Amino acid sequence: MIDVAAKRAAFRTLHSQGCFVLPNPWDRAARGCCSIWDFGLASTSSGAAWSSGRPDYAVTREDALFHLAQLCAATDLAGQCRFRVRFCRCAGSVATNVALAIQTGIAGLSIEDRRLDGGGLYDPQLAVERIRAGARRHRRRECDPGGAHRRFADDAAQVGAAIDRLVAFADAGADCLYAPGVRSREDIAAMVKAVAPNRLNVLMTGPV
């Protein structure tokens, strides 16, 4: 097995070489990806939850940490996790959870700005404080604008609001930004331009 430091170095190098695809296995079958895939992997929080008969967001922090440790142990590929750091609200607790996630061996993680009560996104100032706290604890951060932004695909105002948040998160220390709801090529290009030289991650749900 490749050591964790080497995995993390390889994962960071990927982000300096242009576009690439991250498959999302949800169990130890990730081992099979090593024979057909030489990039990295990303976990899927929803896939892990559904495989255990639970809805997304219903897993505990301990369950999520155990799941990530299993994935990291199953493959030599670097992993970016959908840990989300969503099990807490305040910035200090985010930093604590980031430290716990790092111990599993992951190379990157999401700090999501969706509120715990399902009531939308955190206030922008608090969302930025959470990113800043997590960024201090991890060399590779991924900031997730949250599921609520899935509605912005055909709404210019929503796209503009999402870009404003992404830029603020990049300024706070996130070096890879995530926009799961963006679909059009033009909107993706606008986001890439706005956060450059930081990287943008998008969720592929159809042709672009």
Where are the domains positioned within the chain?
4-202
Tell me the per-residue pLDDT of 13-67, one tens digit each, with 9 for 90 and over. 888 877 887 877 766 655 555 555 566 777 777 777 888 888 877 788 888 888 8
Could you tell me the pTM of the whole model? 0.81
Structure token digits, residue 144: 């997730």
pLDDT for 195 beyond 80: yes
103 phi, psi to nearest 5 deg: -65, -20
Average pLDDT over all residues of the chain? 78
Which residue is it, tokens 């900031």?
143
Check if the beta carbon of residue 113 is closer than 8 Å to that of residue 144: yes
What pLDDT does residue 194 have?
Answer: 94
Parallel/antiparallel/unpaired status of strands 176-179 and 40-42 = unpaired
Among residues 131, 93, 96, 129, the alpha carbon closest in space to that of 111 is found at 131
pLDDT, mean of residues 127-140: 80
Instruction: Indicate the SS3 state at residue 31.
Output: helix
Report the 10 Å Cβ neighbour count for 58: 12
116 phi, psi to nearest 5 deg: -65, -30
Check if the beta carbon of residue 68 is closer than 8 Å to that of residue 51: no
Task: Pick from 102-106, 156-160, 191-195 the range whose average pLDDT is largest.
Answer: 191-195
113 pLDDT tier (thresholds 50, 70, 90): confident
C-alpha span between 87 and 29 (Å, rounded): 26
pLDDT, mean of residues 114-121: 73
Q: What is the CATH number of domain 4-202?
A: 3.20.20.60
What pLDDT does residue 153 have?
Answer: 47
